[in-house]
Chains A and B, each alone.
Chain A
């Protein structure tokens, strides 16, 4: 299989404009003849479904939540980047492009990133017009802040609830189209497979989570906006329902999976408090703008923080990275925190965190200044830990948060299956090996509002699609397979719960395929994942039936897919014999412990092809060329 990225020719600044002109159009009268299925209703899915419907396509949108408004985009706190340069501090499309390529450690496709930076400015206009209540200055203009790892203030925000407000904007646009009858919404519906006929995606098979009914939906194109797979680690900041099922099913139907080992670990989460822990909570990394991260200098020091004098504290990020200090990119901050905890400098009852201290910021800005910036975050912290972060420093530790890997897509966001698109976090995206803060919301909305609605028209205009119905043999077959799998999960009737398997898988991956990785650890992890998968299908216990609302059954299907996917993730991490961005292989580091990239061997996207159960996946490489941003080692010293 040859990977064709379909990046348009010409100077990078002109590629997208030229391409938009070259894209074939569907005439307004014909648009209503096409039916597009959108799976997922987060920022990417809701914005795409709404925009496609506005253009005149008939759209069906599916989400597993009880309402499209609850998709996990809603939990994003910090903000959204845009190259508006409202602050007059030297920002530009070019700089946002440059920062993103560099921040991604040169593992993203330049042309996509440039387009993302171009579109960023339109997103702010769109969302403002929808009534997203962005923070304002006293004169009424939009406010900005600087955010994790950048030296310009280009982040727009709505208190600590930016994701919520952007999602509600997209949800309301979607709701309007549902009200107009242009979109049919299917909440509490989980996509369990893609139907491919003669090489083209022609629909999906869905399970109604209330009645258990399995149904087929025919489409002219299918869009997966199903988010990331951080929950493969069991404990992550993702919502409990987030899963890999849609993208993994698509992978098994022919869509290549790119860079699955690129998983972002977010440095500022609340450390686990015990075995009962069901998920982790992120504290926005905007806190790093004002908080100082430290650990006791002396290993094993269990004194309360107030009793540790200034010279007994190690502000390790400020020490190691004098110019960026506490604002180094996420991967660097996370790995250094892990080193501290592994070296017995961890703090808190379980010695599993580092301090994030606001003492100096309170002195500088006053208590009121801190409340103005971070009130809801301080409250959230207190609710979870029972501690007041004004009185004692916060404790934080890294946690899985976002996945840069995802389905491989070309410049048009189409996967290797014709007519099957992946947008938002579900694709392998524009973030390379590491995503910068406030860029996920930007990418989700760029894909959904401004890229996919154009590119999908080009496909529909040029493709001759045979009419098919749900009675087509291919649909019947896939429906039967989905039903058989549901029955199989219920039939095992073993002795262990789904969560027990999920927890075990998560712990294994966190140890072996988390913040730092080794060849031995990964090889061992692959063997263990296989063994765990076998045990799952022998020993899992799912109570209840497939014909009603059964949350254990939902979870079982998702964990079964995670158990398959985890192996590919480890394979990918094992094959990439370099350290880049989030992917830190202990064998490949500089003498002072920084990641050592190997551009001569690994400047490519690793796209994996499914070759059947029990046979190794086939690796395909998309070479990455860096014409505009010169390959350089990241340095935040």
Chain B
């Protein structure tokens, strides 16, 4: 099939961006969306033009590197699918496709479709962990975790940190990302000692990074390629409220 791609081109963070139209011919339905960009880039290079920059790595939907808004939807039209796993059989011959980067103040554009998501790393650095020095762990089976809890923790831990939730949210909120980590660790017995401190630190960092607030649109859950559920945000809110209303304030240094 033949497709018309309107791709966001922006040479650098400070430069003005714009959509550029490209015609791509003979697209096979078995190609992935990124393979279409590969083919387009090869032709751009042959023509002496700069190829379209986009993040990608594993191309298996697990590393979280790829991410672009395709026809208005983060990662495109298919449910629970990253852009790298989106195949062209979901498009039709002659279709016009608009491709743009994540748009959020906390994710500045680096180039074309590439954005800087280091704000996510800083949120994890603020508290998204369990403090356990290498070598200090007890024998693993001394700690019983009900299967139900382990499964719930895994549901939350499946987050790949791609940022689609932020891109989908009208407020560019990172609540689903933060909630997933808070819930993953907060459900498990290992995560209890730092549970209150963790949620407070992560939420503070999230706000400082310039993400918006959650107003329950639910767009994040619809866009999430790992189908992280919005009820984790309820958990986050509850943990946060409990921490700020009942616990003593977190110590100034960990």
Residues of A within 8 A of B (CB): 47, 50-51, 54, 65-70, 72, 74-75, 84, 86, 122, 124-126, 128-131, 133-142, 158-159, 161, 164-165, 168, 171-173, 175-176, 178-180, 185, 187, 210, 239-241, 273-274, 276-279, 281-282, 379-380, 383-386, 449-450, 453, 495, 497, 499-500, 541, 543-544, 548-549, 551-552
The residues in B between 175 and 220 inclusive whose CB is less than 8 angstroms from any CB of A are 184-185, 188, 190-191
Q: Can you spell out 21 A-B residue pairs with CB atoms less than 8 angstroms apart?
A: A54-B134, A66-B55, A67-B117, A69-B64, A69-B161, A125-B137, A128-B137, A129-B136, A131-B184, A134-B150, A136-B151, A140-B144, A140-B145, A159-B154, A173-B134, A240-B57, A273-B30, A274-B30, A276-B38, A385-B30, A543-B44
Nearest-Cβ distance from residue B114 to partner chain A, whole angstroms: 7
Find the B residue at minimum CB distance from A165: B157
Known: A386-B89, A549-B114. A380 touches B60 (CB 8 A): yes
Are A133 and B184 in contact (CB-based, < 8 A)?
A: yes
Whether B28 and A172, one on each chain, are in contact in the complex, defined by CB atoms closer than 8 angstroms, is no
Given contacts A50-B134, A129-B190, A548-B111, 18 further A-B contacts (CB under 8 A): A66-B65, A129-B136, A129-B140, A141-B144, A142-B141, A158-B157, A164-B158, A176-B125, A176-B131, A187-B118, A273-B30, A274-B30, A279-B59, A380-B60, A383-B78, A383-B87, A453-B134, A495-B46
Report whether B63 and A74 are in contact in the complex, using a CB–CB cutoff of 8 Å: yes
Could you say which of A176, A185, A497 contacts B129, with CB atoms under 8 Å apart? A176
Residue of A with least CB distance to B86: A383
CB A80 to nearest CB in B, in angstroms, measures 12
Question: Contacts A67-B118, A75-B58, A158-B154 known; A141 to B141 CB distance under 8 Å?
Answer: yes
Q: How far is the CB of B83 from chain A (nearest CB, A)?
A: 12
Q: Is B42 close to A, CB under 8 A? A: yes
Nearest CB of A to B139, in Å: 6
**What separation, in Å, do the CA atoms of A622 and B44 have in the docked complex?**
49
C-alpha gap A139/B150 in the complex (Å): 11
Write the chain A residue with the least CB distance to B80.
A379
Contacts of B251 in A (CB 8 A): none
**B residues within 8 A CB of A552?**
45, 51
B250 to chain A, nearest CB (A): 13
In this assembly, does B61 line the interface, its C-beta being within 8 Å of a C-beta of chain A?
Answer: yes
Report whether A66 and B56 are in contact in the complex, using a CB–CB cutoff of 8 Å.
Answer: no
Q: How far is the CA of A128 from the CA of B120 in the complex (A)?
A: 24
Contact, CB under 8 Å: A72 / B57 = yes
Query: What residues of chain A lie closer than 8 Å to B46, measured between beta carbons?
Result: 495, 497, 541
The residue in chain A whose Cβ has the minimal distance to the Cβ of B47 is A543
Q: Are A130 and B190 in contact (CB under 8 A)?
A: yes
In the complex, the chain B residue whose C-beta lies closest to that of A541 is: B45
Q: Chain B residues with Cβ under 8 A from A126's Cβ?
A: 132, 134-135, 137
Please give me the residue from chain B that is nearest to A124 by CB atom: B140
Minimum CB–CB distance for A570 against chain B, Å: 27
Q: What is the CA–CA distance of A587 and B208 in the complex, to the nearest angstrom?
A: 65
Q: Looking at the complex, which one of B124, B134, B135 makes contact with A172 (CB distance below 8 Å)?
A: B124
| Chain B interface residues (CB < 8 Å from chain A) | 11-12, 28-32, 34-35, 38-39, 42, 44-46, 48-51, 53, 55-65, 78, 80-81, 85, 87, 89, 110-111, 114, 116-118, 120-121, 124-141, 143-147, 150-151, 153-154, 157-158, 160-161, 184-185, 188, 190-191, 254
CB distance from B36 to the nearest CB of A (A): 8
Q: A125 to B133, alpha carbons, bound, how many Å?
A: 12
Contact yes or no, B150 A135, CB < 8 A: yes
Residue of chain B at shortest CB distance from A555: B51
A128 near B190 with CB under 8 A, answer yes
B203 to chain A, nearest CB (A): 15
The CA-CA distance from A499 to B38 in the complex, in Å, is 9
A131→B130 contact, CB < 8 A: yes
Task: Report chain A residues within 8 Å CB of B45.
Answer: 497, 541, 543, 552
Point out the residues of chain A lying under 8 angstroms from B51, CB to CB.
543, 551-552
Instruction: Give the CA-CA distance A273 to B89 in the complex, in Å.
Output: 13
| Closest-CB distance, B232 to chain A (whole angstroms) | 14
Among residues of A, the one whose C-beta sits closest to the C-beta of B81 is A383
Question: In the docked arrangement, what's the CA distance between A51 and B132, Å?
Answer: 10
CB <8 Å contact, B42 and A497: yes
Separation of A272 and B151 alpha carbons in the complex (Å): 34
Of the listed residues B34, B153, B157, the one surrounded by the most CB atoms of chain A closer than 10 A to its CB is B157
- Alpha-carbon gap, A348 to B209, bound state (A): 50
Which A residues touch B144, using CB under 8 A?
139-141
Q: Is the CB of A173 within 8 A of B125?
A: no
Q: Across the interface, name the chain A residue whose C-beta is closest to B201.
A: A179
Min distance, Cβ A498 to any Cβ of chain B, angstroms: 8
Known A126-B137, A383-B87: A278·B150 in contact at CB below 8 Å: no
Instruction: Specify the chain A residue showing the minimal Cβ separation from B116.
Output: A66
Which residue of A has the minimal Cβ distance to B130? A131
**Once bound together, how far apart are the Cα atoms of A549 and B38, in whole Å?**
17
CA distance A158 to B157 in the complex (A): 10
Residues of B within 8 A of A139 (CB): 144
* Contact across chains for B57 and A241 when beta carbons are under 8 A apart: yes
Chain B residues contacting A541 (CB-CB under 8 Å) are 45-46
Chain B residues within an 8 Å CB radius of A171: 124
CB-nearest residue of chain A relative to B186? A131
Given A133-B153, A136-B147, A142-B140, A175 contacting B60 (CB threshold 8 A): no
Q: Tell me if A543 and B48 are in contact (CB < 8 A).
A: yes
